[in-house]
Amino acid sequence: MSQEMEPRSPVQPPDPANSDSPRPESIPSDSTSAPLGPGPTAAPEPPTLPTGGSLPPAPLPSQQTPPPRRSGCAPSLVLIVVALIICGLLAAALAIGGAIVGVSRLDRAINLPLDGGLREVETRSFDPGATPRLVIRTGNGRTEVRAGEGRTIQVEATKRASGPNAQQKLAGILLDMSQSGETVRLGYQYSGPTSLLGQGGIAVDYLVTVPRTTAVDIEADNGEVTVDGVAAEVNARSANGAVTIRSVEGPVRVEADNGRMTIDRTRGLLDVQTNNGAIDATVTQADNMRLRSRNGAVTFAGALGAGPHEIQSSNGAVTVTVPADQKLQLDVQTDNGAINNSLPLTNAQTDRRRLTGALGSGGPLLTVRTNNGRVTLATP
């Protein structure tokens, strides 16, 4: 038996004029569904806004219409776009870093020096005969020649390249090692990338072991030059770089535009010149000695043989130390600087800027000149 339910009366808006009017009852959560049974035939009148006083009280939470639910697509799309941008930036950074790391791996793979460049070593052996001669013409790099016990010339040439395009630069260094008769020639040609500074970032280092009787002739543009232990003529020139000649018995001629000259325990003719750099010569005996520096101190110690001998410095002090039994005729002069003499000279004549006299019974002439610098004469 069905029961008829009485229709619910519509909720009347509160009367703003009566502050004691009761608040409307809370509408159940299923109030959005249509009421059972027949409803009223006329729609309720809309509430009228008050002409004065306070606004009607806010409806209870259960009466508020829930806000429309936002779609989750828009934030997701933004996040995806941001993620793609970040991934792109990371990929570009990794690409650049990968190139750098790749060079580093390559460097380590071929046992590179600590300066980060590439290197490659080539070795050769030559049998020059009874009177060997070594000729080296090089641009950039260190050159060392030393006497060995054998009869062959052993060459170790190290090619080096650094900076941008290092691999191409290394491949562009073409070594030239040849023999003609008893003469061995070493050098290189370069056909790789260049810069405004020319062949920057490349070099070839030579380590050569020769028979003791090998005559040596070296010209280097930029780099240190060392010759050690040969008993033959040595000619060495470096445009920019120090030169060291050690334990050589034979004529020595050395020249540098910019670099220190070191002569150690040589015997024979000695001719050393540098435009900018000091000269330090300690000899067993020097014949026809000539030491000249335009800018740099000159120090000589050792015995003097057949002369004449000359020491000259345009700007720099000069120190001469000879054995007590040395026989010399001295002529010393400085334009600006003192002369300090402790040699037992005979027939000495001196003034403020010049000193002449004989050491022992006299002998070959030693001339010392400096424009600006002190001169010191002493025995060991």
Residue 25 lies in a domain: no
Verify that 253 and 272 share a domain, yes or no: no
Residue 349 lies in a domain: yes
Q: Which of 210, 227, 259 is the last residue in one of the domains?
A: 259
In this structure, which amino acid lies at residue 277?
G
Verify that 286 and 226 share a domain, yes or no: no
Residue 317 lies in a domain: yes
**pLDDT the model gives residue 362:** 93
Verify that 344 and 273 share a domain, yes or no: yes
**pLDDT the model gives residue 337:** 92
- Convert 321-347 into a string of H (helix), E (strand) and C (coil): ECCCCCCEEEEEEEEECCEEECCCEEE
- Which two three-digit tokens encode residue 365? 């002439």
163: left (phi over 0), alpha (psi -120 to 50) or beta: left
**pLDDT the model gives residue 379:** 94
Verify that 210 and 242 share a domain, yes or no: yes
Residue 245 lies in a domain: yes
Q: Determine what percent of the chain falls in helix, strand and coil, rounding each to the nearest 5.
A: 10, 45, 40
Verify that 222 and 278 share a domain, yes or no: no
Cα 355 to the chain's mean position, in Å?
Answer: 49
For residue 199, what are the domain limits?
A: 115-259
- Classify strands 153-161 and 118-126 as parallel, antiparallel or unpaired: antiparallel
Residue 18 lies in a domain: no
Verify that 277 and 344 share a domain, yes or no: yes
Q: Which residue has the tokens 């000069």?
A: 318
- Which two three-digit tokens encode residue 223? 């780099």
Instruction: Let me know: does 302 contact 281? Beta carbons within 8 Å.
Output: yes
**pLDDT the model gives residue 79:** 67
Verify that 119 and 244 share a domain, yes or no: yes
In this structure, which amino acid lies at residue 50?
P
The pTM of the full predicted model, rounded to 2 decimals, is 0.69
Residue 340 lies in a domain: yes
What is the rounded (10 degree) CA torsion for 35, 39, 42, 48? Answer: -30
Verify that 275 and 239 share a domain, yes or no: no
Quote the number of domains for the chain: 2
Residue 368 lies in a domain: yes
Q: Give the other-Cβ count within 10 Å of 29's Cβ.
A: 8
**pLDDT the model gives residue 206:** 98
Please report, in tens digits, the pLDDT of each residue of the chain (380 residues total): 344 444 444 444 444 444 444 444 444 444 343 444 444 444 445 444 444 444 445 444 444 445 444 444 455 666 666 666 765 554 444 333 333 222 222 232 233 443 568 999 999 999 999 999 999 999 999 999 999 999 999 999 999 999 889 999 999 999 999 999 999 999 999 999 886 555 568 999 999 999 999 999 999 999 999 999 999 999 999 999 999 999 999 999 999 999 999 999 999 999 999 999 999 999 999 999 999 999 999 999 999 999 999 999 999 999 999 999 999 999 999 999 999 999 999 999 988 889 999 999 999 999 999 999 999 999 99
φ, ψ dihedrals at 138, nearest 5°: -135, 155
Verify that 235 and 323 share a domain, yes or no: no
Q: Which of 209, 225, 259 is the last residue in one of the domains?
A: 259
**pLDDT the model gives residue 344:** 94
- Which two three-digit tokens encode residue 336? 């600006």
Residue 275 lies in a domain: yes
Helix (H) or strand (E) holding 256: strand 252-258
